[in-house]
Structure 1
């Protein structure tokens, strides 16, 4: 008999009733150190006091009015994002998948508005994850995402990750955009690299096709810059944001230049909940904290500290781990065993981690995780790896 909750997840036998900072707690009081942060969502940890206060204050005033009316909190957050980024305009969603839908629509409508409706093809990359809607799975293209859901939305050309020659060969007079994650998350914490992003920007400028960055997982301070593409010194035309922007409250956004957004006129897109007073109040508080040079400098320092300790862990367990890669507090442990085996061993040490593709274990702690909790996390990973070593022996 099917469960009352649709069984689309292979859930761990764990249920948490409360959390604080980097810790989650079960009903019996057992505490787990969380290096997943809701898959890069809880950027300030669980039940961050500043966010609790902001949400509570807003909840006592106004929850929802819809976008039939002006929403001051939405305007404030949009102004903050425009001030801190390349963007001229922002549309708020509830998730990264919704942001992907709009980004795809916006790119195609751009060329339709310019009198070139046949320019609708979008180049995407192997290993991509842009969400689970019909458009997003077609953009990702992998069999794991698309099997059984055909016919797929047409108009996507998939090329190998970091293959610049393949990109150049794929660009045609039908290409409307190139879309990628500056650092692939689900794909195994794979940075595109500064040179590759710069080359894509050059192709974009030479051919006129739009450049779309998906910063749902790698954005909002996760790499030590507010957005990961800043490391390469290039800017997109359109960018998708979600996860960390709400600090745990469902919130996403599409940021765009005025030029790229020119086709999105009155009535071309909408969202009942997107940009509601609750979400935008929390998002603005997250921006106030995360988008400061001091906070981002600390993310870089903590990321360096954690990476150094992880490299020692790799050296200590060469049969379990191969190397560590990533940037800031978006880190991946390349495993020689199945990453799910390390996740399971971590549960035994009251440690939470997240698997990814290409045999990678994702480490995505709260961006404000204290140094002593980084040390504790590494100690628990060490014990988990030792248990795996012991089984192998």
Structure 2
């Protein structure tokens, strides 16, 4: 008999009733050190007092009006994002999947307005994850995502990850866009090299293709910069954002240049809930904290500390771990055992982690995790690995 909640998740037998910073407290009172952060969502941990205050203030005023009207909280957050990024304009969504759908529509609308409606091919990359709508799974193209859901939306071509020669051979003046994550999350915490991202930007400039970045997981300070592409010194034409932007409240966005977004006139896209006052009040508070240079510098310092300790962990368990990879506090442990086994062993040590593809364990702690908690996290991972050594 089917459960009342559609059983599309293999859920752990854990339930949490509250949280405090980097700690999630289960219904039986057990405290778990949370290195998943809701899959890179809780960038300021659980129950951050500034976010609680922002949500409470707004909840006492107005929750929802729809985009039929001006929304001052939305305009404030858009101003903040434009001020801190390449973007000239922002559309707010409820999730990264919705951001992906708009990004795809924006690319197609751009070329239709340029009198090239047949220029629809978007180049994407093996191992990518852009959400679970039909458009997003067509973009990623992996068998795990698309099996049973055909026919898929046409217009996507997947290339090998990191293969610049394949990209050079594929891109042309018929290409609509290149869509890429600067750091693959679901694909196994795989960063693209800065020089390759610069070359992709140059190839897009040469052919006229739009560059679309998916920073849903890598954005909002996760890598030590507000957005990961900043390390390469390039700017996209369109960028997808979600997860950390709401600090746990459902919120996403598409950021775009005026050139790329110009054809998206009134009526071409919409969202009932997107950018509602509650979400944007919280998002503006997240931006106030995370976009601060001193905060980002601390993320970088903590990331170096955590990486150093993880390198020691790998050296201590050569039968379990292969290497550390990633950027900032978007880290992965490449494993020699199933990462799912490590996740489960972690439960016994009261630590939460997230598996990913390419035999990788994801470590995505709150960005305000402290040094003692980093040390405690690695100690618990060490104990979890003890039982998995050959």
Does the TM-score normalized on the shorter chain lie above 0.5? yes
| Partner of residue 59, structure 2 | 59
Deviation at 1:173? 3.8
RMSD: 0.6
CA distance in 2, matches of 1:156, 1:179: 10
Superposed displacement of residue 317, structure 1: 0.4
The alpha carbon displacement at 1:165 in A equals 1.3
**Which segments of structure 1 move beyond 2 Å, counting only runs of 4 or more?**
none
Residue 240 in 1 paired to residue 233 in 2? no
- In structure 2, the residue matched to 1:183 is 183
2:103 is equivalent to residue 95 of structure 1: no
Cα distance, 1:77 vs. partner?
A: 0.2
Q: Quick one: distance in 1 between partners of 2:48 and 2:102?
A: 30
Q: Distance in 1 between matches of 2:191 and 2:39?
A: 17
Alignment partner, residue 13 of structure 1: 13
For residues 106 and 217 of structure 2, the distance between their equivalents in structure 1, rounded to whole angstroms, comes to 21
After superposition, the C-alpha distances for 1:60-116 in whole angstroms (9 at most, x for unaligned) are: 000000000000000000000000000000000000000000000001100100111
Task: Name the residue aligned to 2:309.
Answer: 309
Query: What does residue range 116-135 of structure 1 map to in structure 2 within 5 Å?
Result: 116-135=116-135
Partner of 1:380: 380
The CA deviation at 1:263 is 1.3
**Are 2:322 and 1:318 equivalent residues in the alignment?**
no
* Separation in 2, partners of 1:258, 1:287: 22
Task: Indicate the SS of the match to 1:388.
Answer: coil
Alignment correspondent of 1:168: 168
> What is the match of residue 35 of structure 2?
35
Output the CA distance in 2 between the equivalents of 1:233 and 1:327: 16
Partners in 1 of 2:116 and 2:196 — Cα distance? 28
Q: How many pairs does the alignment contain?
A: 390
Deviation at 1:174, TM superposition (A): 2.8
Q: Give the corresponding residue for 1:138.
A: 138
* Aligned equivalents of 2:186, 2:78: Cα separation in 1: 28
Asked if the contact 2:18/2:25 (under 8 Å) is kept, the reply is: yes
1:363 aligned residue: 363
Q: What is the rounded CA distance, in whole Å, between the counterparts of 2:84 and 2:173 in structure 1? A: 33
Q: Distance in 2 between matches of 1:172 and 1:225?
A: 31
1:234-313 to 2 correspondence within 5 Å? 234-313=234-313
Tell me, what secondary structure is at the counterpart of 1:218? coil
SS state at 2:387 partner: helix
